[in-house]
Structure 1
Amino acid sequence: MTHSASTLMPFFGLIRVSGEDRASFLHNQLSNDINHLSAGQACLATYNTAKGRVIANIVVLKRDEDIILIAAADLCETLQKKLQIYIMRSKVKLQSMDEWRVAVSIPAITTVQAEPVPQYVLSATQKNQIWQITLPDNTTIQIGKINQLPPLNTETAKAWQVQQISSGIPWISAAATETCVAQMLNQQLIGAVHFKKGCYPGQEIIARAQYRGQVKRGLALLETTSILTAGDTITDSNNEEVGLIINQVQQETATLALAVIKHSAAETQLQCNNHSLTIKKCFFTTVITENT
């Protein structure tokens, strides 16, 4: 039998959405099909600008009496304010959940899928007032009151970050908000974007990018010996901007990072903060032609 390691994950924060119109309201704002979620189910979603740029990517948990949104803690206030604007006459109430926290767990044995299969509904269970949601890479998120969750273990937190980055699963924070469309972040591959659910902010841009293949940037796994920060600019050998650091984790001898880069930059020498970057893996298919 294998056991998992768990830790508090301060990166995440929570918003509670209540009121009888909560599901239809969120269905019209987020990129996934919230109306067809049953109580006790979860999903991934993005909240986007009218131009299709991802403000935040979110785990959505539907409970009997409310819906919980889990996103980067440094974006929760922004997310709540932007959603509040569109409530108007809808019977919806948004609240921060300051007494609740998010923890994560890593199974003892993890696997990285070569080609993720979209999961529009995620498994969610409740035990001892703690909700647990299984993510596409089989790691889990738990939410509950802080005294019910495991303490922060920095090594386990780093291991979880390494697993997410190595799996090509990005988490947008304030440093990278409104910089990428969903396909640059492979949100369509893990089930965060539902293309048949109807309108939501940015839907036309995201649909056009999907069906016309207009996205020219994608995720890449990078490594460097220097320290990186989310939001750092990536340049090529000509010092031209070609990408952006989304997530990073510093290890003993190197820093691993998940970045969005131009497809055409995958064959060039990249750098960030005057330090060279090594591309370990691209999470997109690069087609190099003579005219590229």
Structure 2
Amino acid sequence: MPCPYSAELVSIEGTDAIAFAQAQFSSNLASLADGRWQFSAWLNAQGRVKFLFHLVRLDAQRLLLLLRGGQAEALAIELRRYVFRAKAAITPHAARPLGTGNPLPLYAAKQTGDALVVGCGPYSLKVDAAADGNWRLAQLRTSWPWLPESLAGEMLPAWLGLGTLGATSLDKGCYPGQEIVARMHYRGGSKRHLHHVRLSRVVPPGSVLDVHGLAAIQLLDVVPVDASAEALAVVHEDAQTGLASGIEAIHGGQPLAVLGTER
């Protein structure tokens, strides 16, 4: 399966690396051990997801961020604005091939030289492997979102299911967007939710599908499967009730069947 995605990596190193990341990112690093990873995100003040990534703790002074969408250089430039007096060096790395590796326990991570392996259970994500997209369908089916660059700063964590993935913390203290995350968790009210759907034809990731004149379905990743496709999509509640039996959407002026699947 061809893969349009490469490994975009940012390292954070120094005696204050962990404390800096704990103050900036949405996950709780307090229980993250060396050689482990967790889902995390960097939010803006409005609680929208600017960057989504695997946050890998190599040791007490070294973190690696494997981005799930977006550019490493852009993230590093923005993060450096908040370092101030912290002893934390933020370095973007050149994009490298991203492929499917051998099985490695979920949340395990290891680095050998420049090669990084992120455990996903029955397979792993391997940086500097032969590039492929075999991991994409497996991750899509387990609701691991990939954030298209065009949607940076647009999606709320609840829309992407980040609470379920442990990427947002409610009890670690303040971080950018924390108040919005807590409000949506305790008060509810989200009108958009993440769904795994089947499409009658392939459309580009990041596409918006109209349902009865409403821009109701925002596609994240889209993977061709035989003559159709599977996708992760953020779906407005007005379109959710019809997903089980299938609904007709419009993309590019042409009809497109969308069928929900059990998650």
Query: 1:34/1:100 Cα in 2 relative to 1: closer, same or farther (>3 Å)?
Result: farther
TM-score normalised over the length of structure 1 = 0.78
Deviation at 1:106, TM superposition (A): 6.9
Q: Which residue among 126, 129, 146 is the counterpart of 1:142?
A: 126
Query: 1:9/1:242 Cα in 2 relative to 1: closer, same or farther (>3 Å)?
Result: closer
Structure 1 consecutive aligned stretches of length 4 or more whose deviation exceeds 6 Å: 6-9
Q: Which residue among 158, 170, 178 is the counterpart of 2:145?
A: 170
CA contact (8 A) 1:106 1:160 kept: no
Q: Aligned partners of 1:40 and 1:163: how far apart in 2?
A: 23
Q: Encode CA deviations 1:235-288: one digit per residue, 9 max, x unaligned.
A: 112x221131111112330122111011221134333333323222265xxxxx
CA contact (8 A) 1:9 1:152 kept: no
1:152 — aligned with what?
131
Deviation at 1:101, TM superposition (A): 4.7
Amino acid at match of 2:34: A
Query: 1:261/1:25 Cα in 2 relative to 1: closer, same or farther (>3 Å)?
Result: same
Deviation at 1:129, TM superposition (A): 6.4
Q: Encode CA deviations 1:83-103: one digit per residue, 9 max, x unaligned.
A: 111112211111122275543
Query: 1:230/1:100 Cα in 2 relative to 1: closer, same or farther (>3 Å)?
Result: closer
Q: Aligned partners of 1:152 and 1:38: how far apart in 2?
A: 29
Deviation at 1:126, TM superposition (A): 4.7
Query: 1:9/1:134 Cα in 2 relative to 1: closer, same or farther (>3 Å)?
Result: farther
Q: Aligned partners of 1:41 and 1:133: how far apart in 2?
A: 8
1:38 — aligned with what?
33
Query: 1:80/1:92 Cα in 2 relative to 1: closer, same or farther (>3 Å)?
Result: same
Q: Aligned partners of 2:262 and 2:78: how far apart in 1?
A: 33
Q: Encode CA deviations 1:169-221: one digit per residue, 9 max, x unaligned.
A: 11112022122111111111121112211111110001111111121101122
CA contact (8 A) 1:195 1:207 kept: yes
Q: Which residue among 56, 69, 85 is the counterpart of 1:89?
A: 85
CA contact (8 A) 1:14 1:101 kept: no
5+ long unaligned stretches in structure 1: 1-5, 108-120, 284-292
2:219 — aligned with what?
245
CA contact (8 A) 1:48 1:178 kept: yes
2:178 — aligned with what?
203
Q: Aligned partners of 1:196 and 1:138: how far apart in 2?
A: 31
1:281 — aligned with what?
261
SS at match of 1:74: coil
Correspondence 1:262 to 2:258: no
Q: Aligned partners of 1:31 and 1:282: how far apart in 2?
A: 28
Correspondence 1:70 to 2:50: no
Deviation at 1:9, TM superposition (A): 7.7
CA contact (8 A) 1:219 1:282 kept: no
TM-score normalised over the length of structure 2 = 0.86
Deviation at 1:50, TM superposition (A): 0.7
Q: Aligned partners of 1:275 and 1:100: how far apart in 2?
A: 37
User: How much is the aligned-residue C-alpha RMSD, in angstroms?
Assistant: 2.6
Q: Aligned partners of 1:75 and 1:59: how far apart in 2?
A: 14
Query: 1:9/1:140 Cα in 2 relative to 1: closer, same or farther (>3 Å)?
Result: farther
Q: Aligned partners of 1:278 and 1:126: how far apart in 2?
A: 40
Q: Which residue among 149, 158, 165 is the counterpart of 1:190?
A: 165
Query: 1:78/1:189 Cα in 2 relative to 1: closer, same or farther (>3 Å)?
Result: same
Deviation at 1:168, TM superposition (A): 1.6
Identity of aligned residues (%): 21
SS at match of 2:9: strand
CA contact (8 A) 2:199 2:259 kept: no
